[in-house]
Structure 1
Amino acid sequence: MKYLFVFLLASTTAIAQLKHLQHLKSVPNHPRIMLLKGEEKGIQKNIQNDPSWAKIHGVIIQECENMLTLAPLERIQIGRRLLDKSCEALRRIFYLSYAYRVTQNPKYLERAELELLTVSKFSDWNPSHFLDVGEMTMAVAIGYDWLYHDLQKSSLPIIREAILKKGIEPSQDAKYNSWLKASHNWNQVCNAGMTYGALAIYEDQPELARQIIDRAIESIKLPMEDYKPDGAYPEGYGYWGYGTSFNVLFLSAIHRALGSEFGLSNERGFLNTATYFQNMVGTSGKTFNYSDAGSGTGGISPATFWFANRTKASSLLFLQKKAIENISASAGRDRILPAALIWGNGLRFDKVEVPQQLIWVGQGKNPVAMMRSSWTDPNAIYVGLKAGSPSVNHGHMDIGSFVMDANGERWSMDFGMQEYESLESKGVKLWGKEQEAERWHVYRYNNLAHSTLTFDNSYQRVDGYAKITSRINKPAFLGAITDMTAVYNNAAASAKRGVGIVDNKYVVVKDEILSNAKSTTVRWAMVTPAQVTPSGNGSAMLTQNGKSLQLKVLEPANVVVKTWSTQPSHDYDAPNPGTTLVGFEVTLPANSSQIINVLLIPEGITVNKETKIPSLKDWEK
């Protein structure tokens, strides 16, 4: 009797501590996560009536056919991570569970059950790197919930126990749950995974499930604050696809199962972030891949369909529609692709509108500006300008760097990330953020390997921060300005950069610099995949794929444009074949000012020799 009293007291205390779910009494029967019973009919109707949805469905079904021939997953850890196995488990179980619910073909059910039992019998899901647990718990929860009534009765307790013991319970251990107080993607992924696990086994562990979900609703506010004020995601394009997608998976799950998002998605910053994401894709099809992002092209983003449905903004699907038209089997590598058909239910591609904004600026922890001369012209100009700070999660010393597209090609590029294990396996301490951290010696991570300024070959200041100070949106001029002084305060008294598109024809990059009490040599550089031929008179011709672009230095006069190798010296650095640094150096005397004007002129465009670029303070006039 004494033990029963203690148990009841503990349970009552837990319930009293709930902040958001005090009045939650029940949840729907299985399936309750994202796609409720009978809702497959809406997806089937979309597939039958719209070839775009049919294409996505076709990729998923083909991937499921391929999965039938694969060996079950094994618990093989790479370095400190089991993450690749967790990601693949999520892909297989999500796809197979979707395929069974939509087609009712038992072969997909049988294979999904095999995958569920296999990973449930792993010794653990690697809680020391909790992203692995977050994704694996989500994978197993989806399969358990969606297939609950059709799985063998003997399988249910095995899978349920794995969710509890290998997923949820480790999340309550302080050794493993520091992500609860993080504001980056770990918070989004891990809270989403734990919530899916809690929803899956709710009827067996109702009090624990309520605690886990309540905890997640409160904790996930931290990363959602980082979208303020405009929607720019501090970790960049690649991690937007990770963190934001799992954030939306979380919101979708609690809304369907609990009937509310608890006000989480009402903030302007979060609701605007799909616009940020869309603007991050250049006219070449390549993304603005600053920070730890890959160098790939824009593709299908399931989360974008959630935002389009939530905001009723069909223009958010403009690039998604194009991506689906050109869909390939590689789309089947996206482990949450079935979510696109769930979140896109009711959306019509024949109603998609062309975006109207040609420039987008987002402030926040890592401000950026993106501009283009057209959304519909494949030869249009695109420029992305990076401000912010190296100190953000996954940040690089890339303040002032820019990417630039024209005529379907990328001319100024960013290397993006180097695969983490390739560095960690060689002993590189990759995650330090202090000024002297080993991270900044990785070639791709410091400013010497970005399209920005470098003073006396020194690194940018980690504790510096640059905001976008001006946004210019005129019919004949789109531009943005950033004050970079704080990241160069050891080398310059002032450093400002403006980037703009002039007359929809060419790009100007303008720097205004004041040196401090000692002389300094500033290097202006641009990373390019093009072949570079310096041609005298402060210019160079860039060529690639039969197309060309001229780099022309208007100021200062008589500079010598040259190139530098992009091959790093450390054995742990990744090679960078087919790339070049092009630019020039200028020596500034102590306490002097210097203006740098560089034009990037696509082929077929003529710029008047007498062209004058106004000072940055006059750009808005």
Structure 2
Amino acid sequence: MPTTRRSFLRSSALVASLPLLGTSRASAQLPPADSVVKPNPQGGLLFDRADVPHIRANLDLPRFADLRRELTEVDLADDRHFLEHELRLTNRVIDQARARKILERSAFVYAIYAQQPHLDIARLALRRLMDYPTWDYFIEGGTDIIGFQRAPEATIATCCALDWLGDELTTEEIAEAEDNIATKGAPACYLSLYGLKYPDRVRGWGFDRARDDIAIDIDFSRWPLILNATNLKIIPTCALGMAATWLHGRHPEANKWLEMSRQSAKAFSVMYGNDGSYDEGIGYWGYTTLHLALLAEVLHRRLGIDDRALINYPGTSRYAAVMTMPTLGAPVSNPHETKAYTATPKGTIVPENDTVNFGDSGVHGVDATVTPWIGRVADDPISSHISQHLGGMRHYHGAIWYDRDAPTAPLPDEWFDVRLNNDWVISRTGWTAADTVVALRSGGPANHEHADRNSVIFKAHGERLFHDPFKASYIPTHPQWVLRLTEAHTAVLIDGQGHQYHDGSEGTNSSWASAKVRAYATGPGWMTVTSEAAPAYQLVNDTVQRVERSAVLLKPDVLILLDRVTLDDAHPAPVQVRFQVYNEDGRGEAQATATGFTIVRPHAALTASVHGLPSLSTRVDRHDLPATSGVFPFAEVESAAAARHTILTVSAARATRGPAPLTEVTATATGWTVSVTQASTTQRVAIDATPDLPSIIVS
């Protein structure tokens, strides 16, 4: 009896052979159009059969150990029970997302390892995904589904499943899956992108509450404007392009979908700075950049279209690198977090994956999945180095693209001090947990931002010493919404009030708050930056004339902050400078002293002295949050009511059992001189606080 392809796959000698990619049976479901180029019949969407040994070898590397476990060490019986008995066709936020994840995971595992149980689960997940009458919970005009998350994700997963499962699907399964892409996926993605392109033509967006049980409330009236600059644009952009590619030449709308996808990607590319920086923060950078690269890869592989340089990809790898900030300690989980959807971030804090977490950057670290692709496509050895050493490989695409033999180059020393195009400033001594990192959040508003202008993060000796809290809620009715506000950042308050921020009724969109770096300089072992945030505070307090922060890092362990606040003479007010303490593990402490405050963590401690006029006082407190959220302490320096405030904070960090830097602060007629001795090296900082732009000279 001749050997069939199915028996060939199941033979013990070739148990890990790949199912046919780019199946001829799938191509046979719709007649090709003579007016368009047919898809490359030899090319898989992301990889070919010949690539499987390479992918499998990558998954065996320590770099992919966590991902391999997530892919293969799964409870398929639990997945089956969920799909057959628990999945709710009225719940897309949680249940449809889980079904989609199961489909994409098990289809990929079968493609790489040919494990029959994963094929069975993938087919069941595909069946259940197609049981949903619509693929998203957003709607326009009360009638038409629009796709921002679930429809794009389902479209991508279904296209990949068709590619990877190949002849293991019946003709009927293939036809129905392609029909779902063409009716539930691509049109929803197209309509959302059309609305972003022509916001004046939108007939009103909202939740499809007739078919979905989503419980949160959002004001959608400005969403056609807001979402145009967010990650929620690139996901349907990628999905629509993938659908157009899969059905290219076989569906009358495919060319229209392809054009819209490419236009949308090009329009979105300007959301990245020319240097590759990304305003939504490092937590959303990985998700967004991965989907931009996925679209480019699929178009290039299948259609020969080269959109692989829409952004500065090597530059955006640099952005990812400089946002890394590993710390020491054990992973930390909040036992009070539940699986119920609360529009509030959850998850385990893993110190070794820590980041400069401006905004909603979350606790999951830098997702480096896209960096091996950048290394290959841009011929960039630094991106290849990043792919091997920084962040984590959170998605299977990394195993497809990773090349352990790719040429690499170390991160250059000039990346130790970086002012990004969006006016975020990061200075460091190195890339390990023991190294120092200082980050200042200047610049403009962005989606997923916090009210954090001029806020500072300070990490030394493996510990967050000046903290930016994790897990701020996305909705204003949740207690952890307060973690978004200025009062929960290492920043300045004027009579207890921070700068302007929105009320959350539209989601996590941008505020109007801006700051601007006025001066930035670096030298051997030091960095200085001055940022003005008055425009952000003036939006809520018209007596404000100046809210300026200067930061001086004397590497490795001394951070000097100079805060100058000027109000109308007729409206004196007290000013507070807050310093947040990392305590998500219950091991952070702050204490007020006669001259300032101290912060103590297991591996490091910080001693701060404060100086200024008018009189200063120091206290410690905690944010008013329920015990289930955790305890969030802070130290606060208050300058008594006045129209002009000048506050100098000199902070010295040390390892728990290590020597402390020696600091001496001397008042002068125009400011201070700070003398610092670290490891037998003495530096002097002369600060003149009287000019419009403070003079800071390091010698």
Which TM class, normalised by the smaller chain length?
0.7 to 0.9
Residue 40 of structure 1 corresponds to 52
Q: Is the 8 A contact 2:104 2:157 kept in 1?
A: yes
Query: 1:174/1:221 Cα in 2 relative to 1: closer, same or farther (>3 Å)?
Result: closer
Q: Is the 8 A contact 1:523 1:586 kept in 2?
A: yes
The equivalent position to 2:439 in structure 1, one of 384, 396, 400, is: 384
More helix by share: 1
Superposed CA offset, 1:512-541 (max 9, x none):
33332321211100111220121212x222
Residue 581 of structure 1 corresponds to 634
CA distance in 1, matches of 2:436, 2:520: 17
TM (normalized to structure 1)? 0.81
Query: 1:580/1:318 Cα in 2 relative to 1: closer, same or farther (>3 Å)?
Result: farther
Q: Does 1:460 align with 2:517?
A: no
Spell out the pairing of 1:215-614 with structure 2 (5 A cutoff).
215-262=260-307, 265-268=309-312, 270-284=313-327, 285=352, 286-294=354-362, 296-298=363-365, 300-316=367-383, 320-322=387-389, 334=394, 337-344=395-402, 346-348=403-405, 351=408, 353-356=410-413, 357-364=415-422, 367-376=423-432, 378-389=433-444, 391-420=445-474, 423=475, 442-461=481-500, 462-489=511-538, 490-517=542-569, 518-529=571-582, 530-537=588-595, 539-545=596-602, 547-556=604-613, 559-568=616-625, 576-587=629-640, 589-590=642-643, 592=644, 594-603=646-655, 604-610=659-665, 611-612=673-674, 613=685, 614=687
CA distance in 2, matches of 1:42, 1:240: 27
Superposed CA offset, 1:53-73 (max 9, x none):
66367335424x433542254
CA distance in 1, matches of 2:265, 2:321: 23
Superposed CA offset, 1:62-91 (max 9, x none):
24x43354225465379xx72334543443
Query: 1:481/1:76 Cα in 2 relative to 1: closer, same or farther (>3 Å)?
Result: farther
CA distance in 1, matches of 2:616, 2:65: 53
Q: Is the 8 A contact 2:428 2:436 kept in 1?
A: yes
Q: Which secondary structure state, in structure 2, belongs to the residue aligned with residue 247 of structure 1?
A: helix
Q: Is the 8 A contact 2:436 2:458 kept in 1?
A: yes
CA distance in 2, matches of 1:554, 1:25: 71
Query: 1:362/1:579 Cα in 2 relative to 1: closer, same or farther (>3 Å)?
Result: same
Q: Is the 8 A contact 1:237 1:277 kept in 2?
A: yes
CA distance in 2, matches of 1:47, 1:222: 35
Query: 1:24/1:480 Cα in 2 relative to 1: closer, same or farther (>3 Å)?
Result: farther
Residue 402 of structure 1 and its aligned partner are, at CA, apart by: 1.4
Q: Is the 8 A contact 1:232 1:368 kept in 2?
A: no
CA distance in 2, matches of 1:608, 1:89: 58
Query: 1:315/1:447 Cα in 2 relative to 1: closer, same or farther (>3 Å)?
Result: same
Superposed CA offset, 1:200-242 (max 9, x none):
233531x312211211110122321011232221111221122
The equivalent position to 1:153 in structure 2, one of 171, 177, 184, is: 171
Q: Is the 8 A contact 2:286 2:367 kept in 1?
A: no
Gaps of 5+ in 2: 1-33, 139-146, 199-223, 328-351, 501-510, 583-587, 666-672, 675-684
Superposed CA offset, 1:562-582 (max 9, x none):
1122124xxxx8964232121
Spell out the pairing of 1:74-153 with structure 2 (5 A cutoff).
75-76=87-88, 82-128=92-138, 130-153=148-171
CA distance in 1, matches of 2:87, 2:436: 47
Residue 585 of structure 1 and its aligned partner are, at CA, apart by: 0.9
Q: Does 1:195 align with 2:241?
A: yes
Query: 1:455/1:225 Cα in 2 relative to 1: closer, same or farther (>3 Å)?
Result: same
Query: 1:76/1:419 Cα in 2 relative to 1: closer, same or farther (>3 Å)?
Result: farther
Q: Which residue identity does 2:544 align to in structure 1?
A: A
Residue 351 of structure 1 and its aligned partner are, at CA, apart by: 4.3
Query: 1:588/1:452 Cα in 2 relative to 1: closer, same or farther (>3 Å)?
Result: same
Q: Is the 8 A contact 1:53 1:341 kept in 2?
A: no
Residue 372 of structure 1 and its aligned partner are, at CA, apart by: 0.8
Q: Which residue identity does 2:590 align to in structure 1?
A: V
> Which deviates further from its counterpart, 452-461 or 210-219?
452-461
CA distance in 1, matches of 2:532, 2:647: 14
Q: Is the 8 A contact 1:566 1:576 kept in 2?
A: no
Residue 70 of structure 1 corresponds to 79
TM (normalized to structure 2)? 0.73
Query: 1:609/1:175 Cα in 2 relative to 1: closer, same or farther (>3 Å)?
Result: closer
Query: 1:404/1:293 Cα in 2 relative to 1: closer, same or farther (>3 Å)?
Result: same
Residue 452 of structure 1 and its aligned partner are, at CA, apart by: 0.5
Q: Which secondary structure state, in structure 2, belongs to the residue aligned with residue 548 of structure 1?
A: strand
CA distance in 1, matches of 2:190, 2:367: 35
Q: Which secondary structure state, in structure 2, belongs to the residue aligned with residue 228 of structure 1?
A: coil
Query: 1:619/1:347 Cα in 2 relative to 1: closer, same or farther (>3 Å)?
Result: farther
Q: Is the 8 A contact 1:31 1:145 kept in 2?
A: no
Q: Is the 8 A contact 1:554 1:599 kept in 2?
A: no
Q: CA RMSD in A?
A: 3.1
Residue 3 of structure 2 corresponds to none
Superposed CA offset, 1:12-45 (max 9, x none):
xxxxxxxxxx995122127531213433243245
Kindly tell me the number of residue pairs found equivalent between the two proteins: 556
> Which deviates further from its counterpart, 83-92 or 212-221?
83-92
CA distance in 2, matches of 1:542, 1:45: 46
Q: Is the 8 A contact 1:472 1:620 kept in 2?
A: no
Query: 1:60/1:28 Cα in 2 relative to 1: closer, same or farther (>3 Å)?
Result: farther
Gaps of 5+ in 1: 1-21, 429-438
Residue 211 of structure 1 corresponds to 256
Residue 16 of structure 1 corresponds to none
Say which structure, 1 or 2, has more relative contact order (CA 8 Å, 6+ apart).
1
Residue 505 of structure 1 and its aligned partner are, at CA, apart by: 2.5
CA distance in 1, matches of 2:544, 2:519: 21
